[in-house]
Every structure is written in C-alpha cells, then in structure tokens.
A and B are shown apart, each in its own frame.
Chain A
Amino acid sequence: MKRLLGRVRDLFLKPSVKIGLGVLVTGGFVAGVLAWQGFSTAMEATNKEEFCISCHTMHDNLLPELQKTVHWNNRSGVRARCPDCHVPHNFTDKVARKMQASREVWGHVVGTIGTREKFKEHRIILAQREWARFAANGSKECRACHDYKDMNFDKMRPTSQVAMRNAAARNQSCVDCHKGIAHQLPDMKGARNPAFDTLVSSAASQSVEAGQSYFLVVPQDLYADEGLSKRIGSIEVATQVKVLETKGDAQRVELALWRKNKGYGRVWYGHFGLNITSAILDKEIAQDKSFVKVLDAKEDPMTGLEWQQVTATAWMRKGSVLDSVEPIWTIARASYSTSCSVCHRQPDEAHFDANTWPGLFGGMVGFTSMDADTSRVVLKYLQTHSSDFSTTQHGSGSAETSLQTARP
C-alpha cells in the first residue's frame, strides 16, 4: 500500500526525464478532449428514447400509453421523447438525476415494478414523485417547448383563454392542471396519501392508557365482540374515542356523540347540530336500545330536528389512535392549501360554517387529485375549523356555545 502511494506520488511530482514537456502536454490535451467527448457521448446515449425503452418496464407500460397521445404523433411532426420531459436539461440537475437513476436500476434488479399489476399499484408513488419535481421547477421541461411568453392566447378557444391567461399571470406550473397528459393517470381511488404512513406508524407506537381519550388516525371498522368478527359499523378519521380496555389485538372504546332522531339514526356526529360525521353504524345496531344509550335530546332550532346525545361501546383494532389530533390536522391543512390553491385562493377555514362546507367541498374536490382518505380528512378539518369553531381552536365540547354566536 505504502509502495503504491509512493509510486503515485512519484508519478505526479517527479519530472519526466524521457518525454518532452510539449509531448506530455499535447498527449494530456488529446486525452482530455477524448475523455470529455466520450463522457458527453455517454450522457447523450443514456438520454435517448431507445435507452429508456430498452428496459421492459418502460417499453411495456409507458411507451404504449405515450403512443396514444399528441406528444407522440401529431400533425406538425414535432414530438417529445422521454428525456425531454423527465430529465432536467441543465448539467447539475441532469447529473443528479442520472445518479438518482441508480434507484431505478435497483428497482429493476429487485423487480419492484416488474409486472403490469405491480406497476399499476406503484404508479401513484412514481407519479407523485414526478409531480413534486414539476411543481418545484414550475414545469420547466414542459416550458422548454410550451412557454407562456410564446403563447398566442387569442388563438385559443375562449374557455381555454380564461384559464390560460390566469395561469400565465400566476406563472403557474403546467402539471398543476395538466396531469396525465402523456401517460395514464394513476388509480386515485385506491391511492394512499403517503403523509398518512407517518401518522399510522406513530399511532402504532402510541401507548394507550385505559380511561384516556384518543383520536383515530385512519377510519376503522367497529365490532361487537373482542374477536373482531361481528362488524357493526365504521368510525371516521379524527373522531375522539375513550379507550376502555385493550385485549390482544382489540380495543374497547366508548363513543360519545350526537345523532338525529330521524330514520335509523345510523350516522353519528361529533357535535350537536353540526353535520360532522364521526361514525356510521349498521341499521340493526343503531336501533338496538341495549347498545345505544341516549343521554339527552335537544331540538335544533334551524331544522326543527331532534338531536340525541348518544353513547355506546364497541371494539376496534388497536394501534390506530393518537393522543393528539394536531398531526392529523397538519396533514389536512397542507393538503387543503396545496390542492385548493392550484386554481384559486382557498377560502379561510372559518369563512363558512360546518354545515356549509360539505356541499362546497363536495363540489370542488373532483377538480383536485386528493384520494378518498385525504378528502375525508380535509373535509373534517374544514368543518372543525369552520366559523362554528372559530373562537376556540379545537372546539372541545364548546360547539354549543359557539353555535349561538355563529348563527344569525
């Protein structure tokens, strides 16, 4: 080892005795030119469509999808190739992206997306990664060809004009709206918001004490027995429950909620007079007097409906509660502000009351990329931070007092 180091030192520090300086410099110059040329040839070769689709995952999944779009074939004969959109064009980011591809090589070796089924299942993760990249750089790669400054808005259809002029004024990222433009969109329905994974893992390590109140981090099924065999309903995310006991994998919880004394009384709400869904029970159990205890009844002056304060105990799988609801709202808040501000400034949470939000939100959520779980959390977040609760942050039992002031 020492000998080797010595030889390397000699190689660099000892002047040459046989070869002239000019020959050395010329030789080094030629070698440098060749090396750089070779390097950029290699960079170009790995930036070719042929290179991308030489891997069967790309060839079987993404190429056929691209071939159906205008980016593959159109009347003007200009087309986009994989790296035009997916590899940054400047040197540093390009090199970083090439190194990032080591992850893709690893995925290829392990076979993470080796089959069409696996690919479809994994697609949402891949898409979100790419969407995050486009969101961060303002869809720079799209705009190498389609830039706002070169667009003639007058030649667009009138409906497009409105949207595009507004987008140009905001200098908005293209992919904010044009998702799925060159490939199929991921199946959003089965998608999970990755933000929930951290929530679920912190819930798994949450120590639970009997008699304390906790909040659900994901929707759960409710069961009549500790063996979790007889399903009697489901409980919504961010609902507060009191844990009574834990047996094996199951947890007995007490629900203290409100319901409308109308129909079967299957849907239970968190607060009097506010349609914030907390639990949904099966028909028979909701009418079972031995299961449901009615503590109080009040009439809602707005609707003339009688609301009952009810309580019940049920079993659910353990490991999905947290002692604070704030982490859930943090995710909801982030999702609300990013998804809704894409097209307009999102209204203040307290701008509407809890019973107005569901209609508004239901009308708008279709324009966003929120998955089912996320949209439920966001709606609940908006309702519990609505004008009905604006005086107190968490509305812990104070809904009735703030209700009076919030309504005319």
Chain B
Amino acid sequence: MNNQASNSSSLSDTDAAARTSEWPSFLLLAFVGLPVAMTLLIAAYGFVVWLLQILVFGPPS
C-alpha cells in the first residue's frame, strides 16, 4: 500500500493528513453520513413508490 502511495510525491502529504483525521472521518461517516444517506434513500424509495402508485399501479391493494 505504502509503495503505491509513494508513487506520487504529493500523496504522502495527504496520506499523513488522512492518518490523523481517520478517527473524525470514521465517526462522521458512521454516525452522520451513512444515517443521513439511509434516511434519504428510504425517502427516495417512498417517493418512487408513491409516484408509481399515481402513474402505474393505483392505490395499494
């Protein structure tokens, strides 16, 4: 991995930065990012089903 990362000189800097921000990124992703994404996906799913009910299926049977 490190070999791949050292292929470009600028990446090692961001690598170091990423290493220090690993905990914040993990917590942000697990407790904020993904829950929000889940809510949005379910909402989108609901809207899609509603739209299909209007256009194709009619009210649920």
Interfacial residues, chain A to chain B (CB-CB below 8 A):
10-11, 14-19, 24, 27-28, 30-32, 34-35, 38-39, 88, 92-93, 95-100, 132-133, 135-138
Contacts and interface: CB of A to CB of B under 8 A. Distances in A.
Interface in B27-60: 27, 29-31, 34-35, 38-39, 42-43, 45-47, 49-50, 53, 58-60
A24 B42 contact: no
26 contacts: A11-B29, A16-B22, A18-B19, A19-B23, A31-B34, A32-B34, A35-B34, A35-B38, A38-B35, A39-B35, A39-B38, A39-B39, A88-B60, A95-B42, A95-B43, A95-B46, A96-B50, A98-B46, A99-B47, A99-B49, A100-B50, A133-B60, A136-B58, A136-B59, A136-B60, A136-B61
A92 B49 contact: yes
Nearest to B47: A99
Contact of A137 (B27, B46, B49, B61): B61
Nearest to A30: B30
A14 B45 CA distance: 30
Contacts of A135: 59
B7 to A, nearest CB: 14
B46 A31 contact: no
Contact of B46 (A11, A14, A28, A96): A96
Nearest to B14: A10
Contacts of A95: 42-43, 45-46, 49
Main SS class of interface, A: helix
A26 to B, nearest CB: 10
Q: Please list the 4 inter-chain residue pairs (A to B) with the smallest Cβ-Cβ separation, ordered nearest first.
A: A99-B46, A31-B30, A136-B59, A35-B35
Contacts of A34: 31, 35
A106 to B, nearest CB: 14
B6 interface: no
B60 A93 contact: yes
Choose among B26, B27, B34 the residue with the greatest number of A CB atoms under 10 Å from its CB. Answer: B26
A93 B60 CA distance: 7
A95 B59 CA distance: 14
Contact of B59 (A18, A32, A132): A132
Choose among A11, A15, A32, A138 the residue with the greatest number of B CB atoms under 10 Å from its CB. Answer: A11
Contacts of A16: 22, 26
A133 B53 CA distance: 11
B45 A137 contact: no
A248 B37 CA distance: 59
A17 B22 CA distance: 8
B12 interface: no
A36 B37 CA distance: 12
Contacts of A15: 1
Contact of A18 (B14, B23, B43): B23
Given A34-B31, A98-B46, A99-B43, 8 more contacts: A11-B25, A16-B22, A16-B26, A92-B49, A95-B42, A95-B43, A100-B46, A136-B60
